[in-house]
Amino acid sequence: MDFELPEELRSYLCELDEFIEEQIVPLEQADDNMRFFDHRREDARTDWHRGGLPSAEWEALLAEARRRADAAGHFRYPFPARYGGRDGTNLGMAVIREHLARRGLGLHCDLQNEHAIVGNNVGLLLMLEYGSPAQQAEWVEELAAGTKMFAFGITEPEHGSDATHMETVAVRRGDTWVINGEKTWNTGIHTAAADLIFARTSGKPGDSTGITAFLVPATAPGFRVEEYLWTFNMPTDHARVSLTDVEVPDSAVFGAVGRGLAVVQHFFNENRIRQAASSLGAAQYCIDESVEYAKRRKPFGVPLARNQAIQFPLVELHTQCEMLRALIHRTAWSMDRYGTFAVSEQVSMCNYWANRLCCEAADRAMQIHGGMGYSRHTPFEHIYRHHRRYRITEGAEEIQMRRVAGYLFGFMDRGRPKGVGPD
Which of 123, 87, 90, 85 lies closest to 273, judged by CA? 90
Least confident of 51-60, 250-259, 263-272, 318-327: 263-272
Burial label for 158, CB within 10 Å (0-12, 13-18, 19+), is: exposed
Which of 240, 144, 153 lies closest to 195, judged by CA? 153
Question: Are both 40 and 172 inside the same structural domain?
Answer: no
Identify whether 61 is part of a domain.
yes
pLDDT, tens digit (0-9, with 9 covering 90-100), for 19-32: 999 999 999 999 99
Residue 128 to residue 123: CA distance in whole angstroms: 9
Residue type, 363: D
CATH number at residue 191: 2.40.110.10
- For the chain, what is the largest distance between any 2 Cα atoms, rounded to a whole number of angstroms? 80
**Whether the predicted pLDDT of 423 surpasses 80:** no
Question: Are both 88 and 154 inside the same structural domain?
Answer: no
Question: Are both 356 and 404 inside the same structural domain?
Answer: yes
Question: Are both 218 and 282 inside the same structural domain?
Answer: no
Quick check: 216 and 170 in contact, CB under 8 A? no
Domain boundary among 229, 254, 279: 254
Number of domains, the chain: 3
Identify whether 62 is part of a domain.
yes
Residue type, 43: D
Question: Are both 249 and 265 inside the same structural domain?
Answer: no
Identify whether 172 is part of a domain.
yes
Identify whether 310 is part of a domain.
yes
Answer with the residue of higher pLDDT: 7 or 415.
7
CATH number at residue 353: 1.20.140.10
Residue type, 307: N
Question: Are both 200 and 179 inside the same structural domain?
Answer: yes
Question: Are both 223 and 345 inside the same structural domain?
Answer: no
**Whether the predicted pLDDT of 34 surpasses 90:** yes
- What is the arithmetic mean of pLDDT over 258-278? 88
Question: Are both 284 and 303 inside the same structural domain?
Answer: yes
Tell me the whole-structure pTM to 2 decimals.
0.93
Identify whether 57 is part of a domain.
yes
Question: Are both 12 and 85 inside the same structural domain?
Answer: yes
CATH number at residue 21: 1.10.540
Q: Which residues of 409-423 are buried (b: 16+ CB within 10 A; e: fewer)?
A: eeeeebebeeebbee
Question: Are both 233 and 277 inside the same structural domain?
Answer: no
Provide the domain limits for residue 241.
Answer: 150-254
Residue type, 387: H
Quick check: 332 and 94 in contact, CB under 8 A? yes
User: What's the mean per-residue pLDDT of the chain?
Assistant: 93
Q: Would residue 68 be called left, alpha or beta, if left means φ above 0 and alpha means ψ between -120 and 50 degrees? A: alpha
Residues in the chain: 423
